[in-house]
Amino acid sequence: MINATAEASAAQEFDSVVALHRAQIFRFLLASTRDVDLAETLTQDCFLKAHRNWASFRGESSVLTWLMRIAINLHKDHWRNRRLQFWRQTRTNAVDLDEASDWLPSGERTAEQRMLAKEQVAQMWVAVENLSERQRTVFLLRYVEELDLKEIADVTGMGEGTVKAHLSRALARVRKELGEKK
Amino acid sequence: MNRADANLKLDRGEDGLEMEPELREAIGNFKSSVEAWSDAALSRPREATAPARSDRAWMTKWALGSLVFMATVSGAVYENHRQQDFAKAETARIAQQQQEMIAQRAKEEADLMARVDNDISREVPSALEPLASLMDENQGTGN
């Protein structure tokens, strides 16, 4: 009876974790892959894995940090497997960079401002695409997910100094790409 | 979080990395765009296409597997036939070689015997010729 109550409580707790963090995990994976289906699949896998290991989560890091770490590992595994299974399916469902830059929040902008913003976002996608895997991860975690350096270090398993170095290089490359496109 | 909020947070420079306003604006727009896309993707109606893709993938795998299997079996059968044909040809060749050797040896023996007969007949001394003619006569009478 007590066990059943504890299980129900844990399930409820996990439901609230999913409700709270699903959108953020999905957004990070979408920005990393540019593939809605793949991002959904990896998000599901992430929460499935988290659910299986929920009992062993000791709260040493925040839930979000823990989930992000799982998501990053799943993403890495996915690409590692794809590289090994290159004969299976070479085409990805990732949308092209122009299509990805079509998405802009509907704000109080003029048509010209929207056009300029779209162009800027397209350049940003190109710049992010050209970053190394680590630089891209660090960049997205910092500037899209707004994690601080310590959180990024916890998520990626790198030292804070290394994170800062990657971030600095990523910014320099993005700056260069944007400068060249002007 | 809207674009203005995003920019506000980036302005703080918590990580100590400096950013000029243009880069900050570009990153802010990028963040807003990713958020808008993500929100739209999360709220879109789901299509149950995964099983169909899975079935297709399995069918493709089976077809490829069958092809590989057929190719392997065909290859093995062909190789087996080829080896059998080669073995037959080799056996026939060896048999022919052996026959040729036997015929050669027989010919050589016959030649040798003919040479020996010839030599012997030539080497009968003249003093023994009457005896030789006697032997011929005895053979002629059957004694």
Instruction: Say whether pTM exceeds 0.90.
Output: no
Report the CATH number of the A1-95 domain.
1.10.1740.10
Burial profile A108-132: b = 16 or more Cβ within 10 angstroms, e = fewer: eeeeeeeeebbebbbbbbbbbeebe
Residue appearing with tokens 């073995």: B87
Inter-chain contact B37–A142, Cβ cutoff 8 Å?
Answer: no
Inter-chain contact A107–B3, Cβ cutoff 8 Å?
Answer: yes
ipTM of model: 0.84
Q: How far is A104 from chain B (nearest CA, A)?
A: 5
The pLDDT tens digits of the residues spanning A37-83 come to: 999 999 999 999 999 988 888 777 789 999 999 999 999 998 887 76
Predicted local distance difference test score (pLDDT) of residue A24: 94
Predicted local distance difference test score (pLDDT) of residue A90: 46
Q: Which of A39-48, A110-119, A121-130 has the lowest mean pLDDT?
A: A110-119
Residue appearing with tokens 């040729």: B100
Q: Does position A126 have pLDDT exceeding 70, yes or no?
A: yes
The pLDDT tens digits of the residues spanning B27-61 come to: 998 998 999 899 988 887 766 555 555 567 778 88
Nearest to A103 among B25, B36, B42 (CB): B36
The pLDDT tens digits of the residues spanning A159-170 come to: 999 999 999 999
Q: How far is B57 from chain A (nearest CA, A)?
A: 9
On the CB side of B27, CA atoms within 13 Å amount to: 27
The pLDDT tens digits of the residues spanning B82-118 come to: 899 999 999 999 999 999 999 999 999 888 888 877 7
- pLDDT classification of B128: cutoffs 50, 70, 90: confident
Taking the C-alpha atoms of residue B111 and residue A102, their distance in angstroms, rounded to an integer, is: 103
Percent over 90 (pLDDT), chain A: 52
Tokens of B29: 């727009």
Interface of A with B in 100-159 (CB under 8 A): 100-101, 103-105, 107, 117, 120-121, 123-125, 128, 142-144, 146, 148-149
Q: Does position B22 have pLDDT exceeding 70, yes or no?
A: yes
Residue spans per domain, chain A: 1-95
Taking the C-alpha atoms of residue A81 and residue B14, their distance in angstroms, rounded to an integer, is: 37
Inter-chain contact B34–A128, Cβ cutoff 8 Å?
Answer: no
Taking the C-alpha atoms of residue B102 and residue A10, their distance in angstroms, rounded to an integer, is: 95
